[in-house]
Amino acid sequence: MKLVEPPSCHSPSSIVFIGRNHSGQWIAQEQNGLYGGLFVSRAQAIKYALFENGQHPETIVELPREIELDMGKSPSLSQRPA
């Protein structure tokens, strides 16, 4: 029997940001830092975001700039040009 944690999301309308960090790893993070993770592929980041947000792809935003995992506040974007 495989145990699976229940989704962390309390509101299906919460935004989940995905993007790459400075090392090229994929990040998925809820806008308020309620949940997030580090992933080796875009597909895994999206799969996690969909699981956590209750299967709402319309609330996933892929950022064109770098994002760093920050579980204390909204994700920070790098200041480098895209």
pLDDT in tens, 45-74: 999 999 999 999 999 999 999 999 987 665
Give the domain extent around 49: 7-62
Q: Is residue 80 part of a domain?
A: no
Give the burial string for 46-55 (b: 16+ CB within 10 Å, else e): bebbbbbbee
Return the pLDDT at 71: 75
Q: Per the structure, how many domains does the chain have? A: 1
Instruction: Please tell me which residue, 42 or 75, carries the higher pLDDT value.
Output: 42
Contact 34, 16 (CB under 8 A): no
The yes-or-no verdict on residue 75 having pLDDT over 70 is no
Is 50 within a domain?
yes
The answer as to whether 43 is a domain residue is yes
Whether residue 71 lies inside any domain: the answer is no
Q: Tell me, yes or no, whether 2 lies in a domain.
A: no
pLDDT digit string, tens, across residues 24-45? 999 999 999 899 999 999 999 9
